[in-house]
Structures are given as structure tokens and as C-alpha cells.
Amino acid sequence: MEGLSFYVGVIGNIISVLVFLSPIGTFQRIVKNRSTEEFESLPYICTLLNTALWTYYGIIKPGSYLVATVNGFGVLVEAIYVVLFLIFAPAELKAKTVILLVILDVGFLAAVILATHFSMHGDLRIDVLGFICAGLNIVMYGSPLVAMKTVVTTKSVEYMPFFLSFFLFLNGGIWAFYALLVGDYFLGVPNGTGFLLGTAQLVLYAIYRNPKASKKKRLEGVEEEWQHHQHLISPADRIENP
């Protein structure tokens, strides 16, 4: 079982690296245009906080070095994204980014590390930190719900990239399986949630990937309903044109 969990964890590391690198296209565009355009910095700031906390969790929990290594890589990548954002963002957005960075990635992160390190010991420290990490991860996995709502409303997957959804689905699934093997429910619950949400995103993508077909189907439905109503009107009730 230990050997299986190691190989599953390595696969999870590879998939997580791909997820961390998925926004590269966005930042190539930002650097090329020398502007952050309509992009927001909050997702990268939150991911930086999330990966930093999971790195600390992987360090203090025995046998969780695979969690620490991949999230340590995530810290490096997300820090680069945030720096690029600060370089190319307009003044107002730059100020907002700095404020969020100081509050979340400096203040909150330092408070959690200092509080758990000096006031808690052993399993209590691991459990409290695991609870915080799991809660933050669930919130982050829930962020695509906005995109999913947009897909259902617009009947289009334009704002829900397939590969991002696919890798989040794989990432959640493989880490949930790893958590099951090693008995880590703090790791399992948020990633199991991510796996279910990733599955839902892929289902929506399959339904709405062809907007023309969806539109045609809706028009056919309207036509069938109209024909149905026409049959309900008796000949005596119809008005004949002169």
C-alpha cells in the first residue's frame, strides 16, 4: 500500500504541476501587451496562500513530503505570476494587489504559521493546520461555480476552458485517491469536492460545447411546443382570413 501511495502521489505531483502552469498563456499575453487588461490578481494571490499553507502542512506532517514538494513548486510559480501582475497592472489594480498580498500572503499566512508553531504541538498542530488548508481548498475549488453558472445561462462554454476543467478533474481525483490510501481526510475532502465539481464541469462542457446545436435544439423545442398548441385549437376556434 505504501508503494502504491508513493506512485499515486508522484502522478498527482505531475498533474498538479500542469495545473500550476496552465495560466502561462494568460501571462504571456500580459507580458506581450504590457497590460493585465481585465484579468484579476485575486485568484493568484489566493492560490499562493493555499500552496504556502499546504507546503507547511506537508513539512510538519510525517510522510507528507509529496504534498510539500508539489506545493513548494506552486509557491514559486504563483509568486512569479503575482510579480508579473504587479509589474504590468495599472496603478489602481496594482495598489489593490499589494493590499491583498500583504493581508493574505503575509499577514494571514504569518499568523497561521506563528499560531500553530508556538501555541500548538503534535497532532493538534497538524489537525488545525489541515482544517484551515482543507477549508481554503474547498473555497478555491468552489470558485468555478461562477463559470458553471455562466455556462448554463449563456448555453456556451466560451468562458470555461476545457483543459483547465480537465486538469482540475484529474488533480482532484488523483489527490483524493492518494488521500484515501494514506488516510488523510484533510487532503481527501477538498480534493474529493474538486473531483465532483470537475466532473460537473466536464458534463456541462459536453452538453454546451456546440452552441449552434444547442440553439437548434432549443428552436426545435419551441417549434414542437407551438405545433402542440396548434393541435389543441379546434377548427371552429380558428379565424379564417378573408
pLDDT digits (tens, 9 = 90+) for 111-155: 999 999 888 888 899 999 999 999 988 887 766 777 788 788 888
State which amino acid sits at residue 128. Answer: V
Distances 179 to 67, 154, 242 between C-alpha atoms, Å: 10, 36, 77
pLDDT of residue 197: 87
Q: Are 44 and 82 in contact (CB under 8 A)?
A: yes
Q: What mean pLDDT is reported for the chain?
A: 82
Query: Does residue 87 surpass a pLDDT of 60?
Result: yes
Maximum alpha-carbon separation in the chain: 92
pTM over 0.75: yes
Query: Does residue 221 surpass a pLDDT of 50?
Result: no
pLDDT of residue 51: 94
State which amino acid sits at residue 118. Answer: F
- CB-count burial class (<10 Å; 0-12, 13-18, 19+) for 96: middle
Mean pLDDT across the stretch 80-90? 92
pLDDT of residue 63: 87
Check residue 241 and report its DSSP letter: P
